[in-house]
Structure 1
Amino acid sequence: MYMAERKPWDSAYKFLFSSKQVFHQFLTRFVEEDFVQGLAVDDVELVDKSFVSEELLDRESDIIYKVTLPGREVYVYVLLEFQSTPDKTIPVRMLLYILQLYDQLFRSSTKGLLPAVFPVLLYNGSLPWTVPFNISELIAPEIPQKYIPSFAYYPIIERDIPPEKLERIKGLVAAIIYLEQQEDDAALRRTIDKAISMIAEEKPEQLRQFSHWINRMFRGSLENRDIDKVNQLTEVKTMLAEVVDRIEQRGEQRGVQQGIQQGMQQGMQQKAREDARKMLERGFPIADISEITGLSEQEIKKL
């Protein structure tokens, strides 16, 4: 398939999903489960090698995040399957990887239940995904069902996501999947403008990631002018963000200066009132007190 011929696909996704902003977008826009709804970006954290074994994290096809929910934690394990044809061993492989992760969690746990691990498969092949979603369907029912392992994973099959849905979802991940759905270079060039419009509202950081992705994955498939469109959008958004930051900083500085000036004015007025009270006690005429302190005669009479 057009997409499967690109060998660095797994590592490119690994790089992309190393950004928690991108992974949060992927999780909340493409996983239709209640527990991911309402998650904030800061609720997701990439798992590093200090927590799990290097063997588990060194595979280019594995991504593991910890998700913080109210009062509990959940781990999200994503297996990237970027082969041209479905692999019937996927349920067995995923269960093996999950068990390895549970082994790590078990060793680091002290007491109580182990945290839940949510398994996700991301497949971008051109052929339909015909592999069962539960490992139990691959095991002969020669013994009672209760002794047969049951393990299901959440499938995200790129070819099955309607383009209209991706256009509605928008964002960096949707734009990438939209481009990956194109069957040849000609189709890719025809849809690049649509993909760019889908990321128009992204922040400069995500635009830079998209620009890196495009340059890495599609440099030989797109014309230079198409690559330049992405780069120009990134540069413009970055420039605008810098301008906004400068304006906000100036606004903060002005706010501090105004606060200092207001404080000084309030202090001077307080001192003037104190002096006016003392002069009233000593019998100074109100007109003279007004001229000396700068307070109006009406203010002095109130004192």
Structure 2
Amino acid sequence: MSTANRKYKDSVFVDLFSEDEKAKENFLSLYNALHGTNLQMSCPVENIRLDNVMYMNIINDVSCLVDGKIIVLAEHQSTINENMPLRFLEYIARLYEKLQAPTDRYLRKLSKIPTPEFYVFYNGKEDYPESILLKLSDAFITKPEQVPLELTVQVLNINTDKANKILTFCKPLEEYSLFVEEVRNQTQLDPENGFTNAVKICIEKGILKEYLMRKSREVINMLVAEYDYDTDIAVQREESLRIGIQQGIQQGIEQGIEQGIEQGIEQGIKRGFSDGVIKTALAFKKMGIPIAKIAEGTGLTQAEIEKL
């Protein structure tokens, strides 16, 4: 990604619900849709984002203090990261440090804190349920009957084909989802001019019309940054997968050829990513590892591996 694009830290999603001049109106619309409330513009909303923290770690965020709650929103346009509860745990701890006076934690009287809520809005291309709950406790190595620490993240699929009811109650979110779909369509048809074409078409269709007319150039720059960042993350994941394969093979060699091949495949997959099984198999095939062993380690059939 170019340095110039890195300066656009916000995504269109974040700008709409956190930074734009109409962000408060959009945010309250989304809050009311999530909670079945009717908070008005007179309700205080404080933007408490931690700059760069989430963006530099795959996602961007909206964090607001409203109605005695900390609402943390995040967006995913690619595969859902199931480690989001842990990421949000780290994030909310930093937010509480920011909101509380350092002396508060040492008071004898209980110091009240805003209630946190965490949401991820998914509009990627992979099939995903309309709504799902991710739990921090699902990551625990051992899980006692009474979980000592829990954090839940509600993931909502906002692709229009899922007909998620939240889109019915929040027009800005619905139009944003339609905008993302148009961006995808236009970039497939014309990679070079897709962003510009998508903005023009959405204005013509009345999708985020007022917003896009005001900020078309900024929006295009944010889209360029977002898509460059997605590519950057994909490269990092590929590199992580490669390192995982190499480390797995090295451990296998040290423990013997036969055992090493099996453990190398296993370690490569464990340290890589579940959606990289085919790439893992292909890499081992190029290394000359027997197809039968690759099939055993990856779950692919020998016929599938031979076609790679």
TM-score, structure 2 normalization: 0.49
Rg: which structure is higher?
1
